[in-house]
Structure 1
């Protein structure tokens, strides 16, 4: 069964988006991180060149279904949609303290190579640490995605290791690099 709902706040968010206003989460260096509005992910996917896109698989996942939170990456000057970020909780034990945020980003092709990904992911990390109690944020990317690895490292992430065969792209199992950043990394080790 699939249920749909619409709250008054959803309508208000749609109205704000129509008027060109978005709820801004953070901004820096010409990049704005804002709440995503309906259609943002589709717009970015439509503009995508498919680099590092995973193979489609319509089988049901054995994972518990989860809906990630989404944010929009905007050009601070023009308000143009440059991409989307997402985040969801992952667990490494049965307690709150053993949970972390896992983040992802997708940028339109002409937004790449300008530091947008680095800035957007750092803004998201800072936002999550400022607004939630979790102390770890992680991200993974294809071992061959050198640009994203560089962006994450510039954003303060450290390599945790390689997850062998974690993703399927172009019909082949692909290794993924897992990176993480801790709250103490931002606090100077406090």
Structure 2
């Protein structure tokens, strides 16, 4: 499906916001225009397991303007596939914040992942100081589940994050 979102293949969309496969050059724009407000510190040590990652860009449907991106990685809460969940994240460009784009993009991503994969749980986490993202997650249907102490390293300091979750049964009601 093509749309006014440029040369990107649109995966999901509603209310003027679309999620699409990234086009050539999108990552460079995101890297240059982003402010890295909650970017984790770079760590060159290899992970024992490099999970597959997914990424879609967030685009204004009418103008084709790149607004940010969403991504997901698998997390395991046990040894079987039935214990797998997705952990999602979003990075909006500063000009796209405060307009409800993050809430809608994350809701669209949840719907897309539940429609195209077999997982029954999707998680998201954010810095305890990122109140705007906490509100966006709650508006997108996530429930606050707790605080993970010292879970991320940013600016050379261990930071607490708030964990949110949504179940397939939460959105199919």
Q: TM-score, normalized by length of structure 1?
A: 0.84
Measured on the aligned residues, the alpha-carbon RMSD in Å equals 1.6
Q: Distance in 1 between matches of 2:48 and 2:89?
A: 18
Q: Distance in 2 between matches of 1:163 and 1:100?
A: 17
Aligned position for 2:40 = 54
Contact 2:7 2:23 in 1 (8 A): no
Identify the match of residue 149 of structure 1 among 123, 134, 138: 134
Identify the match of residue 26 of structure 1 among 4, 12, 22: 12
Per-residue CA shift, 1:21-64, capped at 9, x if unaligned?
Answer: 22111111110011123432332121112212222333x14341
Identify the match of residue 157 of structure 2 among 172, 175, 186: 172
Larger Rg: 1
Q: Distance in 2 between matches of 1:122 and 1:164?
A: 26
Note the 1:73-88 alignment, pairs <5 A.
73-88=58-73
Matched, 1:64 2:75: no
Aligned position for 1:41 = 27
Secondary structure of the structure 1 residue equivalent to 2:39: coil
Matched, 1:117 2:99: no
Q: TM-score, normalized by length of structure 2?
A: 0.92
Instruction: Flag structure 2 segments of 5+ consecutive residues without an equivalent.
Output: none
